[in-house]
Every structure is written in structure tokens, then in C-alpha cells.
Structure 1
């Protein structure tokens, strides 16, 4: 079976690692297409080398553009790729422009698409990611869903017949690497881990300054692996960073997981990092108006702090560790479940 994986951003490289290995073990014909959406080596190349993923068969080199231009250029280049190599299945991950471009192009050419990490909903149509994930779910022939909540969301949209709960690929990878990550020497003590990269957080200077003021008010040590977009905003606007915030370069997979494993809590606007915090049983404080990972909030491990409204210091001070921890992301066998379903076999 000819499988083509479309990736372009950090979370997708992480999800690719376990499913590529599962597909390879069953001797499928695999092509990896990198759209070039994330092109900085520290957000791209390092994950391929660290996670043992082969070099992409084709790097489209699209880079940073407006949403429309970026998606359109991806589609143009993906069309040529698909026509030449004629895959049986296109596999797309998550909710980026790479996801949408892959699904749209495959649909136009009559090629079957499988969406991995389907069914997530924030119900905020102002987020480009929400548009991407909804359109991709409706275009795809198979939907591989990480959680029970995702299945409920898809049922409401009439998509249950093509939806399958598989667990989460990030849980697969962490299960396989957790022992080695725990053995790594920690670099910092007594800190919270901060990530910020969404345009709504860092391109709006008023909101970005509000977030930084909230962080400064914590009087806690903050480790901040900085995204290139965020660093550019700081430099362009000459924003002063409080002394409790230590900026470091973007981290590879195991180094970043080590930071989560040893932190007091996670402060983020990311989707995937909310999930990683949950997998490490760390409190997460999501600096957004909503989240697509609703289960983590309902179970008490994740708390929404609305920008320009919430009080981060009070929210952290009032957090209490939940008595229960539910395994909501599967048993670490998601990759094999997905590949078996694509192969027309029943999961073990």
C-alpha cells in the first residue's frame, strides 16, 4: 500500500515518528512530504534526526506566507507530487495549513485521505486551526480520533460512520521514550515552563504585553523556549522581558519533554503542549479563551486563563491537584491501530 504522509510543523513531526515506524514494520511504500511550513532547523530538522524519521522525500519549501498564499502554494506543489506518485492514501495530521492543503488537494484528485487527530473542536471560528480541522474532517474518508470527546464532536456533525477512536500518537511516542527522558539530567530547578506562539497571543502587542505582565507578577522562575515568531515580535517592538523569565532557544523533542517532566507547571497557548502536560501529570494553564482539549479542563488538570481578563497568579494559587487521573489518550498503540485500519485489518 502506498502511503503519503503530509507534515509541515513541529507537532506533526512528533506524530509522524510512531506511525512511520508502524507503517514501515508492515512494509508499506511510504513517502514523506514536508511542506516547509516550519523551516527553522530547531523547529524541523532536529525532530527528524532525533526521532529517527528519514529525510523527507520532497520538501516543498513553502515557508512563511499569508494563510491563503501559503495554502495555495502548498496545493499547487502537492498536486504535482500526488499526480506523479499516485498514493493509495494521503495521511494528514492535526490542524495546520499543511493539513488543509493536503486534504483539499487529495479530494480534488479523488485520492483517499485519512485525518489523524480528527474531531477536535474549540468552537472558535476566528482561529484558522478550527477552520482547517473542520474542513479536513468533512473531506476525509477516514477519521482517526484521539479521544472520546472527539468522537462525540464528530457524531454531532454526522461523521460518526467514518470515525474511529484510536488514542493519540503523542502518547505512543512518549510511552516509548519516557524512561530515557526521565534519565536525562535536568538543567533547571523550581520553574514554570512557558510557550507562546499563536498570532492571537504574540502579534497583538496589547495582548502580548498583558501576558508578559501576568507572567512577571508570578514571582516565579520561568523557562521560555522561544518560537521565532515570538522572538521577532519582541525584537521588532523592543519589548523588555522581566528578569524572572529566562529565554532559551527552541528545544528538540527529548529536551522539551525533560523541561515538562521537571517543571512545576506549564503556561501555554499551544494545543499539543496542553496534551503533553497532561501526559506528564503537570498542571497546565492555557492562556487562551478556549481549548480543543476539553477533557483536560473537565478533569481538572488544565485551566483556561482568558487573555486581558483572567488573573494568572490567582488561578495558579487556587489550583488543586485532582484526585483522579484518567488515561484519556490511549494505551500507546495508536499507530498500529491506525495502520491496521488503513490496511483493512482489525486492530489487535
Structure 2
């Protein structure tokens, strides 16, 4: 069976690592062709993850990046269609909610190639998010909808989608469990001159925050206040750095411990020992939960409502005062420690079994 996997952004590389491991075990049962759209293309956002997580180099790299949403998705759709016609895969596997996800799903379904969507059924309820549009449309055209939890499957059911829906668990949890011991062994915390539970880890990259000057200034202002009490480590996303540079506003980072983009292992080392995580990343909300580190989410909604219900996550939006108030009450919510709504770390095995069993 020929499986073609499409990736384009950093979170997808991480998820592809879990599939790569089970595909190696499957041996000759699958021929896996990996296509990188190029959406994240520089070494710090792409190649380092392939090296660090043992993912084979992509068989095809389309090199499509630095375009607006419409132009990027359209260019990817055109090039992926050509690629699919040449490779002729039996199945196409996509991850998450990026432009690469949507373009691959549309290109495949128009050629009558069945699509498997990993992380199906997630919804934030915010149609201003490009990711929300991407995930909804991808779910509509997918043959297999691989849900990370029961809530995602329930969402699809309410939308009238019941065929091909499978609760497999969160593939990101597969990677966290597999790499946790290695992270502790290979990445010393003193690399950043911080002490266990005596610093904060932050990340800001979502379009809704970076494209809005007031929202970004409000978030960074709150982080600077928090940095008066303990170090705030901020791995700066290239998009955020570029926007601040264009606005002549790099001084908004004063007082923060700013680094360049970090590798997967480095981010997880910092996350595991942080006092708390402040982020607008969907993946980091879950990963903080897996490490049982409190999270303050710099968005007005989240796809991962279970982390809120279990007391490990709080929504702060981009409001300076809300962020500081949430930090002041970081320990006020009762936290449920043993719950695991995202499976047992075997999502990739289940996905491959389902793809293999289908006619």
C-alpha cells in the first residue's frame, strides 16, 4: 500500500515522527512517500525537527512559503495535484489545520484518493482563525477522521459526520511519551541559566495576536511585568520577530529572555520544568498538560476544552490585566491529576491499523 504523507509546518513534523516509527515496524506492508510543502522552511523551523526526531528527509519538497493564505493554498493545491498524479498513492494522510492540510485534502479528494485526517473534529468556534476554516473543510472531505478524543468525535456527530470517525487518541502524546526520558538525559536545564520551577515559558505566534498591534503589545507588556518576579523565556517565532522589526517595536521584548526558535527537545526541556506556560499555541497547551505544568492560554477560546475542565489551563485572551490576574490565581483552580482524555500513546498504531484494514 502506498501512503503519501503531507507535512508543512513544525507541529506536523512532530506528529509525523510518531507515524514514522510505526511505519518502520510495518516494514514492506507500506510504502511511505513524504511531501513537504515548504510552509515552514528554514532550519530552525523545519530541518532540525527531521534530524532530531529521526524523520527521513522528505521525498519531495515543494518549497512554497512566504505567501498570503489564498496564494499559498492555491499554489500548494496546484503542485500537490501534480505530485499525486505522478506518485499515485493509495491514501493521503494529513495532519492538523494548516494551509498544507487543506490544500492536500482538496487535491487528493478531487483525484478520488481517500484522505485520512489526523486531529479531526477539533473546533475553537472562532471562524476568524484560518486554522478553523482549514480544519472544518478538511473534515468535510476526509474518508478517515482520526479524532484525538471523544469530544472531537461528538463534535463531528453534531455536524452530521458519522462515517469514518475513529477516536484514536492524540498522536502528540505518542511523541511526548517516547521522547520524555531522552529530553531529560540530553538537554540540561542550565543551558538557559534558569532553575527548576522558577521561570516561565512563553510563546506568541498566532495571526490573531501578531497581526493586531494592540493585542501583541498587551501580551508582551504582561510578560514584562511577570519578568520582574521570575525569568520569562520567550523562544521568538520568526513571524513575531519580523512583525516587531517591521513596526520598529523590538524594544517590547526588553526584560524577557528571548531566544531564537528552539528544537523539539529544547522546548520540551523548558516546558517540563517551568512554573507555568503562557502560549497561544494549541500544541503547547496539550504538551503542558501532559507534563502537568499549568498553562495560561493567550487566546479567547481553545480547541482543547478538556485542559480547562481538568484545571490545568486558563483562558486569558490578550488582555494585560486578565493575564496578570490569571497568574495571580494560578493555583486557585482544583486540578485533576490522573485524568488522561487523549489516549494511551498508541494513536499512530491505531491510525495505521485502520488505514491498513480499509479496502
Short-chain TM bin: over 0.9
Q: Deviations over 1:14-73 (max 9, x none)?
A: 000011221232121000000000012101000001111111000000011010100000
In structure 2, the partner of 1:75 is 77
Q: Which residue of 2 aligns with 1:230?
A: 240
Report deviation, 1:309. Answer: 7.0
CA deviations on 1:294-332 (whole Å, 9 max, x unpaired) are: 111111111000223752111111122634221112111
Rounded to whole Å, the distance in 2 between the matches of 1:194 and 1:75 is 34
User: Contact 2:222–2:320 at 8 Å: present in 1 too?
Assistant: no
CA distance in 1, matches of 2:83, 2:24: 21
Shift in Å, 1:182: 2.2
State the distance in 1 between where 2:211 and 2:127 align. 18
CA distance in 2, matches of 1:333, 1:302: 24
The answer on whether the counterparts of 1:214 and 1:311 sit within 8 Å (CA) in structure 2 is no
- How far apart in 2 are the matches of 1:105 and 1:180? 38
> What TM-score comes out, normalization by structure 2 length?
0.93
Structure 1 gaps of 5+ residues are none
Matched length: 345
Given that 2:10 and 2:46 are in contact with CA atoms closer than 8 Å, whether structure 1 keeps it comes out as yes
Q: In the aligned structure 1, how far is the partner of 2:45 from the partner of 2:162? A: 34
1:94 and 1:115 in contact (8 A); partners too:
yes
**SS of the residue aligned with 1:149?**
helix
CA separation in 1, counterparts of 2:14 and 2:341? 19
CA contact (8 A) 2:312 2:335 kept: no
Partner of 1:169: 171
Q: CA deviation at 1:96?
A: 0.2
Structure 2 residue 308 is the aligned partner of structure 1 residue 297: yes
Q: TM-score, normalised by structure 1?
A: 0.96
Two-structure CA RMSD over aligned residues (Å) = 1.3
Q: Name the CA distance, whole Å, in 2 between partners of 1:81 and 1:242.
A: 42
Partner of 1:195: 203
Q: State the match for 2:127 in structure 1.
A: 125
The DSSP-based 3-state class of the residue aligned with 2:58 is coil
Deviations 1:79-138 (A, max 9, x none): 111001110100000000000000000011100000001110001111000000000001
Greater alpha carbon shift after TM alignment, 247-256 vs 179-188: 179-188
Deviation at 1:242, TM superposition (A): 4.9
Aligned counterpart for 2:218 among listed residues 210, 217, 223? 210
Please state if 1:221 is matched with 2:231: yes
Instruction: Map residues 262-301 of structure 1 onto 2, 5 A cutoff.
Output: 262-301=273-312
**Residue-by-residue CA offset, 1:149-203 (whole Å, 9 max, x unaligned):** 1111111111123110001111111111111212331032221001011111112
Following the alignment from structure 1 to structure 2, what is the Cα–Cα distance between the partners of residues 329 and 37?
27
CA contact (8 A) 2:92 2:116 kept: yes
Structure 1 residues 196, 323: closer, same or farther in 2, change over 3 A?
Answer: closer
Deviates more, 1:9-18 or 1:307-316: 307-316
Instruction: Give the Cα separation in 1 of the matches to 2:253 and 2:96.
Output: 34
Residue 45 of structure 1 is matched in structure 2 by 47
Determine if the alignment matches structure 1 residue 327 to structure 2 residue 335: no
**Can you list the C-alpha shifts for 1:231-290, whole angstroms capped at 9, x where unaligned?**
112212222135431100111111110010111110011111111111110111011111
